[in-house]
Amino acid sequence: MSDSENSVHKVVIIGSGPSGWTAAIYAARANLSPVVYVGVAKQDPGPILPGGQLMLTTDVENYPGFPEGVAGPEMMMKFEQQARRFGTEVVGEDIVRCEFSSDGSPHTLHTSGGNEIQANAVIISTGATANWLGLESEMKLATSGGGVSACAVCDGALPIFRDQPLVVIGGGDTAMEEATYLTTFASKVYVIHRRDTLRASKVMQERFLSKPNAEVLWNKTVIDCLSAPDAMGNEKLTGVKLKDTVTGEESVLEAKGMFVAIGHTPATKFLRESGLEFDDAGYIDLKTRSSKTNFEGVFAAGDVADAKYRQAITAAGMGCQAAIDAEHWLGERGLH
């Protein structure tokens, strides 16, 4: 905690992914003395780690400034170091409940450590978590760079996936978009769907199916991820075990990469009773291009308010916006 638990912080940032750390960097350089609640590691059912989804990404090759690529955890460590350099205070707890004020008084936040803190401005950057199949083998490979990912746009162009057979799990527009993207790099892309029809729009289906290396495997579910050690002794995906949802027959499909595209869940469970407004998908509803929510002094940034792009660079940009919006809001009220 800070020197005085009873003091009112200018800015509290909830979350420690690209948006949270970027907001902290901007807020700290604006002398707002930000406090970042980074959260604690947990399973829900997949891994949720301080630092966000990049903590599950081995190589990030599409973030400007890293021409040779950078490991996701290393990138988040650099973001944190930069935020700390300018005086950001970091607390290793979750915010578990929020009481947002509608009368201009400070907002009250409750921590997992049993503390109650107050803040004039709050930036919510808790992100969203990928929905996983829930297989032990899937989680093992996803957390070790073993060829399982929840973001084809982030990871699909990596060398380990090029000219290899890949599988995409899902049947919606996101699955079709990711599968179509992968056809540029893969020798073959299989979409595995548990039903005999796709939920994706016709145009998205046709775009994928028009590719010569595209195929849909109907009425199939993945029941296990198969792997073997590579030359360096690291476990890498070699295939997936499938089960037919109609006949129950099991089979094995060779694959070097598996991309899970069955949706994301915004990390907003702790906000459900706060009065904050959400869109139909459960993301924080930002009605304008700014980061302002329906509460004065409460801002949102990154994947917690972005169901469309879900990229590190867009999240970082939104973190910048939130910090600037918070600085202006505090200044207008004589709190900065």
Burial class (CB in 10 A: 0-12, 13-18, 19+), 3: exposed
- Catalytic residue numbers read 151, 154-155
Contacts of 260 (CB under 8 A, 6+ apart): 130, 131, 132, 133, 138, 148, 149, 150, 169, 170
Return the percent helix, strand and coil in the chain, to nearest 5: 25, 30, 45
Contacts of 295 (CB under 8 A, 6+ apart): 100, 101, 102, 107, 275, 276
List the strands of the sheet with 257-260, edge to edge: 148-149, 257-260, 165-169, 188-192, 214-217
- Eight-state DSSP code of residue 113: T
Question: Of 262, 263, 244, which is closest to residue 253 (Cα–Cα)?
Answer: 244
Please give the backbone phi and psi of residue 252, each rounded to the nearest 5 degrees, phi first.
Answer: -120, 135
The residues that bridge with 284 in the sheet, in sequence order, are 278
* Angle at the Cα of 259 from the Cα atoms of 258 and 262, rounded to 5 degrees: 130
